[in-house]
Amino acid sequence: MKFGLLINEGPFTHQASDTAYRFAKAAIEKGHEVPRVFFYHDGVNNANLLSEPQSDDRNLVKLWSELAKENDIDLVVCIAAALRRGIKDDILADGYRISGLGQLIESGIDNDRLMVFGD
């Protein structure tokens, strides 16, 4: 099955991104596909390369980058949500790209399921 993911929260205040990450990893391990993850609302903060959690904390920005690289996942950050939060091309972590909300709708059309991870 092909899953599109939507992440509506940042990597620290809420658990949404952690849960989504674990879901994506488990789904891929079971042989499913996760072609795209879309980041909206404060979820755009998952793309911030400048994020520097303490060394004994998990680093979701990096974990998403690695998972995307290994499994060819398209990490898309909503441009309108990103710009108003100061997320721009020059501070994007590896594997992320900034694009429009149309990419979210497309993900809903093209995939078998769209999973929403939020508050």
Partner 1 sequence: MYEEDMDGPEVVKRFCYINRKAPYGTVYAHEMLETVLIAAAFEQDVSVVFADDGVFQLKKNQDTKDIGMKNFSPTFRALEGYDVEKIYVEKESMNERGLTEDDLVIDVEVLDSTQLADLIDAQDVVISA
Q: Are 104 and 98 in contact (CB under 8 A)?
A: no
Smallest separation (angstroms) from partner 1 to the CB of 54: 27
Q: Are 81 and 10 in contact (CB under 8 A)?
A: no
Active-site position among 20, 78, 93, 98: 78
Of 40-48, 51-59, 63-71, 91-99, which part binds partner 1 (CB under 8 A)? 40-48
Identify residue 22 by its one-letter amino acid code.
R
Any residues with CB less than 8 A from the CB of 15 and at least 6 apart, and which? Answer: 9
Q: Which residue from 3, 5, 8, 61 is in contact with partner 1, where contact means CB under 8 A?
A: 8
- Binding residues for partner 1, rule: CB under 8 A, are 6, 8, 40-42, 80-81, 100-102, 104-106, 108-109, 114, 116, 118-119
